[in-house]
Amino acid sequence: MSFGQPCDEFPLSSLPPLIRDAVIEAQQITQAPLGLVAASALGAVSLVCQNLIDVCRLNTLRGPVSLFS
């Protein structure tokens, strides 16, 4: 990838159907770039799941899973 060149569309087929459909609907309503809408959806899903899933690191460290950590 070189800078200044547009990258390919976001790979919607990688998303689960429920999230994919929500991303498509939000993109059609807002006319925002597909990648931006998809990244926002992934961030929202990450935030919602953060309190439900813990990750263990080095056997003694345990904490919430997060997209941003």
pLDDT of residue 7: 63
Q: Is the residue at 34 inside a domain? A: yes
Q: Is the residue at 5 inside a domain? A: no
Q: How many domains is the chain built from? A: 1
Q: Is the residue at 4 inside a domain? A: no
Q: What are phi and psi of 5, to 5 degrees?
A: -105, 135
Helix and strand totals (H; E) in the chain: 2, 2
Based on the number of CB atoms within 10 Å of its own CB, is 58 exposed (0-12), middle (13-18) or buried (19 or more)?
Answer: exposed
Q: Is the residue at 6 inside a domain? A: no
One digit per residue, the tens of pLDDT, for the chain of length 69 reads 556 666 667 899 999 999 999 999 999 999 999 999 999 999 999 888 888 988 888 888 888 887 765
Q: Which two tokens stand for residue 56?
A: 């263990």
